C-alpha cells in the first residue's frame, strides 16, 4: 500500500475532524493550538504534502518563498481566504480551497444578533446590570431603537448576506436594500424581499443599519472611511462581520463619538486579536471576538469540508471548493 499523504494542521480542530484527518492522512495535528509564525508555516510547507490552515495563518508571498516547498494544496478552514496570497500560491502551483456554505446560517445569525444588540443596547444593558448600577425598571431607561420596519442595507450580496436578508425581511419585518456589483437575479432578490441599489452611496444614504458582507480585497480595504460613514444617515448603525480592514477605525470611532452614528456591532478587527483600544471606551459599540462561525455544528462541518477538499485533491478527483 502506498504511503498516505502528509498533512500539517495549524490549530486544534473538533474531535470528529481530527479523527477524519487521522484516518485519511499521515497527519501532524497542532498539539498546543498556538498561533503560527512565518517560520512554523515555512517548516510545514517544506514537510507536508498538504496544509490545513485557518484564517489567522498569514500565508504570504514571503512565507511561500520557503525552500524546499513540498506542499501542493492549502485547505483553508474558513470561507474567507484573504490570509493567503493567492497569486503567490498559484505561482508555486499550489491549490487553495475554502469552506463555503456550511457557515452561512451561523454567520448570518450572528450578524442579526449584532443588529439587535446594537439597536437595543444589549451590551450596555448587561454591563449596567453586572456592575450593580441597575436601579430598576423605569419608562425612560436605556431606550434603544425599534428594529421592526427599519431599513437594513447589505453591502455585498453573497451567501451570508442573502441569509441575513431572509432573516431580516421575513423574521424581523425589515426593509432590505443591497449593493453588490454582481447582484443576485431579480427573482432571487424578490424572494428575499431585497431591493438592489446601483451604488454604495445610495444604499448608505437610505439605510438605518448597514451590514458589511464583502470580502477583504484591494477594492474594499478601507472602504468605510470618513467620507462613506458621513454618507450614512445620522443615527444609523454599522455592523461588521466581514473583515476588520474594510472599516477605517479612526473614522468609525469619530462617527460613534460625535453621535453621527448611533452605534456599531463588530465581530472582526484590523490586526486581530489586537483591536483599537478606543472601542473599549465606547458604550455604543458591541464587540465580539470573531465568533461568526463559532458553533459546534459549523466548526465541525467546516473541518470536514476541508478534509473533503484535501481528500479530493489527493485522490485526483474534482476539488469541491477550489479558489485557486
Cα–Cα distances (Å) from 35 to 44, 53, 54, 61, 208, in that order, read 14, 11, 10, 19, 38
Residue 76 near residue 309, CB atoms below 8 Å: no
If one counts every other C-beta atom within 10 angstroms of the C-beta of residue 258, the result is: 9
Report the residue from 5, 50, 78, 263 that binds ligand DGY according to the rule CB under 6 A. 78
The answer to whether residue 211 forms part of the interface with ligand DGY (CB under 6 A) is no
Evaluated on CA atoms 247, 253, 258, 263, the torsion sign reads positive
Nearer to ligand DGY, 256 or 302 (CB): 302
Residue 180 to residue 232: CA distance in whole angstroms: 17
Give me the count of residues in the chain: 324
DSSP class of 280:
G
- x-or-dash pattern for ligand DGY, window 88-127, by CB under 6 A? ---------------x------------------------
> Which positions from 214 through 273 interact with ligand DGY, judged by CB under 6 A?
none
| Stretch touching ligand DGY by CB under 6 A, among 39-47, 72-80, 130-138, 316-324 | 72-80
Q: Which residue has the cell 462617527?
A: 255
* Binding region for ligand DGY (CB under 6 A) out of 76-84, 166-174, 206-214, 309-317: 76-84
Contacts to ligand DGY from residues 19-58, by CB under 6 A = 55
| Contact yes or no for 229/220 (Cβ under 8 A) | no
Nearest approach in angstroms of CB 101 to ligand DGY is 11
The edge-to-edge listing of strands for the beta sheet with 95-97 is 26-28, 6-9, 50-54, 73-77, 95-97
SS3 195: strand
Partners of 312 in beta bridges: none
Using rule CB under 6 A, residue 293 touches ligand DGY:
yes
Please pick, from the candidates 5, 50, 80, 184, the single residue that binds ligand DGY as defined by CB under 6 A: 80
CB of 293 to ligand DGY, least distance (A): 3
Instruction: Select 149 or 271, whichever has its Cβ closest to ligand DGY.
Output: 271
**Which range in 73-81, 198-206, 221-229, 312-320 contacts ligand DGY by CB under 6 A?**
73-81
Residue (166 or 243) nearer to ligand DGY, CB: 243
The reply to whether 290 belongs to the active site is yes
Tell me how far apart the alpha carbons of residues 220 and 240 are, in angstroms, rounded to a whole number: 13
The Cα 306–Cα 63 span in angstroms is 21
Catalytic residue, chosen from 272, 276, 300, 322, is 272
CB of 2 to ligand DGY, least distance (A): 33
Between 27 and 306, CB nearer to ligand DGY: 306
- Minimum Å gap between C-beta 312 and ligand DGY is 19
Distance CA 167, CA 161 (A): 10
**Beta carbon of residue 215, minimum distance to ligand DGY (angstroms, whole number):** 9
Q: How many residues bind ligand DGY (CB under 6 A)?
A: 7
Q: Which of 228, 290, 299, 305 is catalytic?
A: 290
Active-site residue among 228, 243, 299, 305?
243
- DSSP code at position 131: T
Rounded distance between C-alpha atoms, residue 146 and residue 148, angstroms: 6
- Shortest spacing between CB 107 and ligand DGY, in angstroms: 7
Out of 44, 79, 154, 248, point to the residue binding ligand DGY (CB under 6 A).
Answer: 79
Backbone angles phi and psi of 21, in degrees to 5: -65, -45
Backbone φ and ψ of 24, nearest 5° = -100, -25
Binding site for ligand DGY (CB under 6 A): 55, 78-80, 103, 292-293
Residues recognised as catalytic: 243, 272, 290
Amino acid at each position: 500500500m502506498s504511503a498516505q499523504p502528509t498533512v500539517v494542521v495549524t490549530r486544534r480542530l473538533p474531535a470528529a475532524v481530527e479523527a477524519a484527518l487521522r484516518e485519511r492522512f499521515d497527519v501532524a495535528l497542532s498539539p498546543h493550538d498556538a498561533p503560527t509564525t512565518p517560520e512554523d508555516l515555512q517548516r510545514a510547507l517544506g514537510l507536508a504534502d498538504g496544509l490545513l490552515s485557518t484564517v489567522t495563518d498569514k500565508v504570504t508571498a514571503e512565507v511561500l518563498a520557503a525552500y524546499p516547498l513540498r506542499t501542493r494544496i492549502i485547505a483553508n478552514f474558513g470561507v474567507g481566504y484573504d490570509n493567503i496570497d493567492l497569486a503567490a500560491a498559484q505561482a508555486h502551483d499550489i491549490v487553495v480551497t475554502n469552506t463555503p456554505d456550511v457557515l452561512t446560517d451561523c454567520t448570518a445569525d450572528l450578524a442579526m444578533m449584532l443588529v439587535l444588540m446594537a439597536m437595543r443596547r444589549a451590551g450596555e444593558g448587561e454591563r449596567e446590570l453586572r456592575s450593580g448600577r441597575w436601579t430598576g425598571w423605569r419608562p425612560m431607561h436605556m431606550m434603544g431603537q425599534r428594529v421592526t420596519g427599519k431599513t437594513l442595507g447589505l453591502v455585498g450580496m453573497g451567501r451570508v448576506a442573502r441569509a441575513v436578508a431572509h432573516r431580516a425581511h421575513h423574521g424581523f419585518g425589515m426593509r432590505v436594500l443591497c449593493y453588490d456589483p454582481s447582484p443576485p437575479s431579480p427573482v432571487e432578490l424578490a424572494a428575499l424581499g431585497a431591493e438592489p441599489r446601483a451604488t454604495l452611496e445610495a444604499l448608505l444614504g437610505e439605510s438605518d443599519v448597514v451590514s458589511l458582507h464583502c470580502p477583504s480585497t484591494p477594492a474594499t480595504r478601507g472602504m468605510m472611511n470618513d467620507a462613506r460613514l458621513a454618507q450614512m444617515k445620522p443615527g444609523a448603525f454599522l455592523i461588521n462581520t466581514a473583515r476588520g480592514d474594510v472599516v477605517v477605525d479612526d473614522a468609525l470611532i469619530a462617527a460613534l463619538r460625535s453621535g453621527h452614528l448611533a452605534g456599531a456591532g463588530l465581530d472582526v478587527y484590523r490586526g486581530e486579536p489586537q483591536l483599537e483600544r478606543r472601542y473599549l471606551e465606547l458604550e455604543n459599540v458591541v464587540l465580539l471576538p470573531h465568533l461568526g462561525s463559532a458553533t459546534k455544528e459549523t466548526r465541525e462541518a467546516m473541518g470536514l469540508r476541508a478534509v473533503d477538499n484535501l481528500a479530493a485533491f489527493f485522490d485526483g478527483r474534482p476539488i469541491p471548493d477550489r479558489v485557486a
